[in-house]
Structure 1
Amino acid sequence: MFFYVARQPILDREKSLIGYELLFRDSIENVFPQIDPHEATSRLLAGSHFHLGIDNLTGSVPAFINFPEMSILVKVPELLPNNQVVIELLESIAPSHELKAICQQLKQKGYKIALDDFVMQPHWLPILPYVDMVKIDFRATSIDDIQSTCDQLASFDLELLAEKIETHDEFNFAMTLGFDYFQGYFFSAPEVLKTRALKPNEINLVELLAKLGQESCDFNELDTIIQRDVSLTYKLLRYVNSSFFNRRREINSIRQALVYLGENEIRKFIALLAAANLAEDKPSELIRLSITRARFCELIAQQQAPEYASKAFLLGLFSLISAILDEPMDKVMSKLPLSDEIKLALLKREGPLANYLSLILDYERAVWDGVNALSSTIGVDTGQLPEFYMDAVGWSNSLLEQ
């Protein structure tokens, strides 16, 4: 069984990944809408499918999860290991002596607790000594109130997490206020003041992309270009001999690799390699998100319009290229040899591929009404989307571990 859940990355001051908040459709308690919210939460967390999903979604970092008040009071979070979860208390939960005692017990058992959408109120003071982290919503809180809250929390041993950080300016401002962690998609926006030239090995990859953008590939030309770059040759042979392909005999030459993989797989491999190399100095989550989008778009297209699958993959992969190169998208598109359909979707959100990109963007942000509407427009069964998303996340994780 698959369930609707999106993940949002949480980064530290070095822009390294420290966790994901899991965003469930209609909140966690409504995954099973026909039963009591607390019972629904218990069933969900107790199910093996959820544990498998957690591993796939978060890997080695913890999941930040909101829990209903009753679930907290009856200690449902303890169904998960303490190193896999950060327990989020919603602002709607009323502080009480019972809640205080439970937070104290959870902390003694090694669980981390975060207060979500926090606004400083006197009734939270008895709870704060047992809390590890406070999350402040930068969209719902004024600058003055954020500053005031930070000042009032300074005497507590707490970490501060800035939520809904969408620009680099907001990230830098939160840094100056002393925030430790940052949730939002600021890292996927370009820092236009940092535009840089392509390195020689990156130019080689762009030349390969140009060749692969043609209707048919000339393997002799590809062989010649790949031979110029020892690192590229090594990565190609490592990829084709990896566990992705069930081969009994090892492939030892570029030509063999090209013939074995075929045009579609070669296009994907080079595109992935190009994106990873171009994002070398960027947060790792940027390339992970790019690959997840690529696979998600490809899976939808394979079902609905197979002729667009390859282009849908490239669309998702290069949807963040502006942030990777720190340049406006129109300038980047003038440099990259991508098809007109891909460029139209990336620049204007128009054309036959545009809805694929819009769908994954809404899914990432848990805009479920938008997901339903776009699914209907595209003609994809909404019941398949969780499976596609989990596949894409797992595929991205496994590629980056190679």
Structure 2
Amino acid sequence: MFSYVARQPILNRDKALVGYELLFRDSLENVFPNIDPHEATTKLLAGSHFHLGIDELTGQVPAFINFPEMSLLVKVPELLPKEQVVIELLENIAPSDEIVTVCKALKKKGYRIALDDFVLSQHWLPVLPYVDMVKIDFRSTGINDIQKTCDALEKYDIKLLAEKVETHDEFNFAMTLGFDYFQGYFFSAPEVVKTRALKPNEVNLVELLSKLGQTQCDFNELETIIQRDVSLSYKLLRYVNSSFFNRRREINSIRQALVYLGEDDIRKFIALIAAANLSENKPSELIRLSITRARFCELVAMQKAPDYASKAFLLGLFSLIGAILDEPLEKVLSKLPLSDDIKSALLNNEGELANYLALILDYERAVWDGVSSLSHSLGVDSGQLPEFYRDAIGWSNSLID
């Protein structure tokens, strides 16, 4: 039994990953009506902590988890190690004397506390001395109110988190206001439209990418290109000798590695390495997200349409290539030898492949009604999606970390 848990990255001012907010649903059948918040939180903990382990979802960074009033009063947060969690108080909580006492006790025990969707008001003042962070929703809060809230919180030792930051303009505005952390997908869009020259080692990668469009891989050509680059050769041998492949003997040559992998896995390897190496000075989370999407789309396709699995993988992997290269997606795709149906799905959200990308996008944002509808359209068993998502996260972590 798996819980439906999506995660959303939280970055610092350097765009480095500092945490994930976990968003929960216990099935796709109960999207409407919503279940009780306390029940949702306890099921989230049972599914993600006791069954899976929160660290499998978040790695080395803490999980930001919503705790409604009842969960706080019965001390549910104390079931979790204080190093692995940031306790988020929902905005609809009435900060009574009991809640203040709970926050004081949690703070004394070393837990970190955040106020979700914070709106400045008098009744929150008794809680603020015990709060480490406030989250301000940039979609629902006006600029003047954001500025007033920032000014009022200056006298407290509280970090500011800008929530639902979707553009680089919003990110830059939040930076000028002194925000410390940022949640949203601003980093997954091109920051500056520009053209940049390829470095010598990147020329090899682009040449390898061109091989993705060939009907059959020419192992002689691939071997020649890879052997030109020591780093690429090392990565290939490390990849093929990793724990993902069950072998009795170690593989020690480029040709042996290529033959062992076969065409499908060679295409994946080339795409992964290219995406990672063309993303200089970009957040590592951008690459992690690309790889997670690729693996998730592949696993979904394998369930009902295995002939689409390879294309679904490339679709997910290149869904963020515009942001990786800081160029318009159309311009980037014109240089890549991808099939027309992949390009149509990425550029115009058209064709059968488009639903695979739409599914992972809705899953990431916890748009559970969309996940339910798209699963049905694809003929996919929605009960397997949590396992696919966890597999995709684990796979991306193994390649990035």
Above 0.5 in TM-score? yes
Partner letter of residue 200 of structure 1? P
Structure 1 stretch displaced more, 55-64 or 206-215: 206-215
* Residue correspondence of structure 1 range 17-36 to structure 2 within 5 A: 17-25=17-25
Partner letter of residue 323 of structure 2? A
Aligned length: 398
Aligned-partner Cα distance in 2 for 1:317–1:204: 19
TM-score w.r.t. length of structure 2 = 0.95
- Residue 4 of structure 1 is matched in structure 2 by 4
Partner letter of residue 384 of structure 2? Q
TM-score w.r.t. length of structure 1 = 0.95
* Residue correspondence of structure 1 range 324-363 to structure 2 within 5 A: 324-363=324-363
The answer on whether the counterparts of 1:46 and 1:79 sit within 8 Å (CA) in structure 2 is no
The answer on whether the counterparts of 1:53 and 1:390 sit within 8 Å (CA) in structure 2 is no
Structure 1: 5+ residue stretches without partners: none
Partner letter of residue 149 of structure 1? T
* Residue correspondence of structure 1 range 212-227 to structure 2 within 5 A: 212-227=212-227
Aligned-partner Cα distance in 2 for 1:34–1:124: 26
String of CA shifts for 1:249-285, please: whole Å, max 9, x gaps: 1211111111011001100011000000011321000
Instruction: Label 1:242 to 1:282 Cα distance change in 2 as closer, same or farther (>3 A).
Output: same
The answer on whether the counterparts of 1:2 and 1:49 sit within 8 Å (CA) in structure 2 is no
Aligned-partner Cα distance in 1 for 2:111–2:51: 17
Aligned-partner Cα distance in 2 for 1:179–1:329: 30
> Which SS does the other structure have where 2:87 is aligned?
strand
> Which SS does the other structure have where 2:162 is aligned?
strand
String of CA shifts for 1:301-348, please: whole Å, max 9, x gaps: 111111110110000000000000000011001111111111111111
- Residue 157 of structure 1 is matched in structure 2 by 157
The Cα shift of 1:129 comes to 0.1
Percent identity between matched residues is 81
* Residue correspondence of structure 1 range 201-240 to structure 2 within 5 A: 201-240=201-240
Q: Does 1:64 align with 2:64?
A: yes
- Residue 399 of structure 2 is matched in structure 1 by 399
String of CA shifts for 1:19-68, please: whole Å, max 9, x gaps: 000111289xx89x999754564455256764524121101100001012
Partner letter of residue 375 of structure 1? S
Partner letter of residue 112 of structure 1? R
Aligned-partner Cα distance in 2 for 1:397–1:346: 24
Aligned-partner Cα distance in 2 for 1:159–1:117: 14
> Which SS does the other structure have where 2:83 is aligned?
coil
* Residue correspondence of structure 1 range 189-204 to structure 2 within 5 A: 189-204=189-204
Q: Which stretches of structure 1, 4 residues or more, deviate above 3 A after TM superposition?
A: 33-44, 46-51
Q: Does 1:384 align with 2:384?
A: yes
Instruction: Label 1:50 to 1:339 Cα distance change in 2 as closer, same or farther (>3 A).
Output: farther
Aligned-partner Cα distance in 1 for 2:119–2:376: 39
- Residue 141 of structure 1 is matched in structure 2 by 141
Aligned-partner Cα distance in 2 for 1:37–1:21: 16
Structure 1 stretch displaced more, 189-198 or 229-238: 189-198
Partner letter of residue 296 of structure 2? F
- Residue 316 of structure 2 is matched in structure 1 by 316
String of CA shifts for 1:111-142, please: whole Å, max 9, x gaps: 00000000000011111000100100000000
Partner letter of residue 297 of structure 2? C
- Residue 365 of structure 2 is matched in structure 1 by 365
Aligned-partner Cα distance in 1 for 2:41–2:12: 29
Instruction: Label 1:177 to 1:26 Cα distance change in 2 as closer, same or farther (>3 A).
Output: farther
* Residue correspondence of structure 1 range 45-194 to structure 2 within 5 A: 45-46=45-46, 50=50, 52-194=52-194
The answer on whether the counterparts of 2:167 and 2:189 sit within 8 Å (CA) in structure 1 is yes
Structure 1 stretch displaced more, 120-129 or 229-238: 229-238
Instruction: Label 1:36 to 1:226 Cα distance change in 2 as closer, same or farther (>3 A).
Output: closer
String of CA shifts for 1:148-179, please: whole Å, max 9, x gaps: 11011111110000000001110000000000
- Residue 250 of structure 1 is matched in structure 2 by 250
The answer on whether the counterparts of 1:19 and 1:58 sit within 8 Å (CA) in structure 2 is yes
Instruction: Label 1:300 to 1:139 Cα distance change in 2 as closer, same or farther (>3 A).
Output: same
Partner letter of residue 14 of structure 1? D
The answer on whether the counterparts of 2:4 and 2:26 sit within 8 Å (CA) in structure 1 is no
Instruction: Label 1:275 to 1:40 Cα distance change in 2 as closer, same or farther (>3 A).
Output: closer
Aligned-partner Cα distance in 1 for 2:234–2:46: 44
Aligned-partner Cα distance in 1 for 2:13–2:299: 34
The answer on whether the counterparts of 2:233 and 2:254 sit within 8 Å (CA) in structure 1 is yes
* Residue correspondence of structure 1 range 297-316 to structure 2 within 5 A: 297-316=297-316
The answer on whether the counterparts of 1:205 and 1:274 sit within 8 Å (CA) in structure 2 is yes
> Which SS does the other structure have where 2:392 is aligned?
helix
Aligned-partner Cα distance in 1 for 2:392–2:43: 25
The answer on whether the counterparts of 1:44 and 1:50 sit within 8 Å (CA) in structure 2 is no
